[in-house]
Structure 1
């Protein structure tokens, strides 16, 4: 009789046992060889979508099916909040959670091509999490993990009289050098 026993995460070891005619089981051999199984948890299988606070994120959803006859898809946040529904080729916000009102957009002209992608605007840090597109006709479930970060600060630049560009850091350094030089001269 063969049995499969779990060992530490990521490995499974096969134990071979024999059963005598009397019904008594004994281990013939324990194979020290472990079959390393690549166990991918759900989060690592998800695509990552990144966006900046105040900007938008685009979540792709298009199963590999070609032409689509029935146009129904459901977008959910963390498996429980209704982000957007497409029912029989019509987008609806009737049962949409309030926090997504006025922030979602889809592409109706693309539904017949199987494209049910969603654009979420005015991103907030609280929008981070898992967004899933479910298309019941194809049993298609595609999840993406949204990560929202602050926009990187831009270096303020101004045009100097020579037509070159001078950054704020360059201006500060150019002011500190004479001040530092004067301090050194006074101390000597």
Structure 2
């Protein structure tokens, strides 16, 4: 009985861990902010690399400075980061003029920690009649918060069963 409960707990926790990859949704022609926050670790060298599908160079931050020197041409003029936030551990990337072809997985790699944070991007046509709210994030919506809020009760039950 104990073994079966532990096995169930293991699979539930595995499912929770696998389901929390963040998804950013945006609209064609607008911008999306792709988050990269490795935590509150103290950074001595500020270096981060953004890649699309592990194939294309989207943006590099080297020694605290953004560079597009080796950037894939399809991202030229469409990327920006927030340099004043680097020291706070924020290496988020703003990707402008979204196109359907921008859909996929974007990863932020921070070599100093061997950290690889990935986010899935979904791009949709902007529905007719929807006007942009000045307080909104340019039509961008993240779903990780909703997923986590749905998984909290499941995690609580799993925790109760495991204890």
> Normalized against structure 2, the TM-score is what?
0.69
Q: Is 1:51 aligned to residue 26 of structure 2?
A: yes
* Secondary structure, counterpart of 1:138 in structure 2: coil
Residue 99 of structure 1 aligns with which residue? 74
**CA pair 154-48 structure 1, distance change in 2 beyond 3 A:** same
Q: Distance in 1 between matches of 2:79 and 2:17?
A: 25
- Aligned-residue RMSD, C-alpha: 2.1
Matched residue pairs, number?
124
Q: Distance in 2 between matches of 1:53 and 1:64?
A: 31
Residue 84 of structure 1 aligns with which residue? 59
**CA pair 99-40 structure 1, distance change in 2 beyond 3 A:** farther
Q: Distance in 1 between matches of 2:117 and 2:45?
A: 18
* Secondary structure, counterpart of 2:112 in structure 1: helix
Does structure 2 retain, via aligned residues, the 8 Å contact 1:69–1:112? no
For structure 1, the residue ranges without an aligned partner over 5 or more in a row are: 1-30, 156-188
Q: Distance in 1 between matches of 2:108 and 2:95?
A: 13
Q: Distance in 1 between matches of 2:115 and 2:30?
A: 28
Does structure 2 retain, via aligned residues, the 8 Å contact 1:74–1:84? yes
Q: Is 1:130 aligned to residue 97 of structure 2?
A: no
Does structure 2 retain, via aligned residues, the 8 Å contact 1:68–1:111? no
Q: Distance in 2 between matches of 1:61 and 1:84?
A: 13
State which structure, 1 or 2, has the greater radius of gyration over its C-alpha atoms: 1
**CA pair 55-91 structure 1, distance change in 2 beyond 3 A:** same
Structure 1 residue ranges (4+ consecutive) displaced by more than 4 angstroms after TM superposition: none
For residues 41-68 of structure 1, what are the alpha-carbon distances to aligned partners after superposition, in whole Å with 9 as ceiling and x for unaligned? 9973310000000000001111112442
For structure 2, the residue ranges without an aligned partner over 5 or more in a row are: 131-163
Q: Distance in 2 between matches of 1:41 and 1:66?
A: 25
**CA pair 124-43 structure 1, distance change in 2 beyond 3 A:** farther
In the TM superposition, what is the alpha-carbon distance from 1:146 to its structure 2 partner? 0.2
> Normalized against structure 1, the TM-score is what?
0.61
Paired residue for 2:126, among 144, 151, 160? 151
Paired residue for 1:74, among 49, 55, 71? 49
Moved more, 91-100 or 59-68: 59-68
In the TM superposition, what is the alpha-carbon distance from 1:69 to its structure 2 partner? 2.0
**CA pair 42-147 structure 1, distance change in 2 beyond 3 A:** farther
